[in-house]
Each structure stands twice: as structure tokens, then as C-alpha cells.
Amino acid sequence: MTEERNGRRPHGEILLSESQIADRVRELGAEITADYTERAPLFVGVLKGAFVFMADLVRAVDLDAEVDFMALSSYGRSTETSGIVRILMDLNEPVQGRDVVLVEDIVDTGLTLSYLEEHLATAGASSVEMCALLVREGRQHEGSRIKYVGFELPPAFVVGYGLDAGEYGRNLPYVAEHLQ
């Protein structure tokens, strides 16, 4: 456990260091670049958690790319999903005929990504691929498909690198267990 310092609340063990994350994001960027050669995908980030990951990811992609964001709610202020996904902010860019890379910070059950994949397909996206920084081991429902996975983690609640617990921890440059 880290000590509280500089006004920062303590958190548990660091699970992914800043350098581990940076290395994996570069690898994911290279994979996406290879898969989308001569295409310009629309990267859709799920707010708020994916903003840090997506910023680093699009810089690691050697393609013309556009970005847009959606805000959803399935957790509210809880650490457990409600099972109901609500769109709080939809896209500004049309997806009709576009290749979309959906960027998520962490995937638990896959409910949110499945909902978004269907939403984007209904809006006319020609393809939708999913990219998640973190996937919780053994929690995804049948049919959940994530093409680009940064890391798999046990089902612990984590903070850092955009992920939060009640808005705490988003600015940490690493991923750590959250002390509840």
C-alpha cells in the first residue's frame, strides 16, 4: 500500500507501471496501423475513463484518424454495473460507412461494448472493432469480442490512467488496486 502524500489518497499495489502501459499502447497502435492501412478509422472513446488511453493510442497510430466521444452510464457512482446502459452524450460525427474503433478503458461484463457495437452498426458503421486497455478475466458474457486488448486483470477494482473511483485516481500515470 502506498502512503498518502502530496494530498493524494493511498491506493493498493501498482498492477501496471507507466512504462508497461506505454509499451503496450505502442504495440496496440502498431496493430491498428497494420489492420487499417490506407483507411482512416474513426476512434470513438467512451468517456470519461478512456480519454487518457485514447489520447496515447491515437498518437501511436500511424494513420489519418478522426476522434469522437460518447458518454454512457452503466455504473453511476457504484463500483458494480447496474446492467442498464444509458447514452448521456452521443457522437458528433456521422458513422455511416465508416470504420470505427471503439476505445474503452476497462471491460467488465462486456455489456457496454455490446450495446455500443449494436448502436454503431444501426447507425451505419461499415465495421466496428473494439479496443480495451483492460479486460477483467472471466467476466465477459458469451459473444463478447474485443479485437485489441491491452492487459487482462483479475476482477479487482482499479484506478489510474483514466480509471477512477468516485473521480479519484484518473490522473495517476499507472494502474493500481483501489482501496475501498
Catalytic positions, please? 108
Within 13 Å of residue 142, how many CA atoms lie on the same side as its CB? 0
What does the alpha-carbon distance between residue 36 and residue 42 come to, in Å, rounded to a whole number?
A: 11
* Contact indicator for 38, 51 with CB cutoff of 8 Å: no
What is the residue whose three cell numbers read 502524500? 5
Q: Give which of 145, 124, 120 is closest to 135, Cα–Cα.
A: 145
What does the alpha-carbon distance between residue 26 and residue 24 come to, in Å, rounded to a whole number?
A: 5
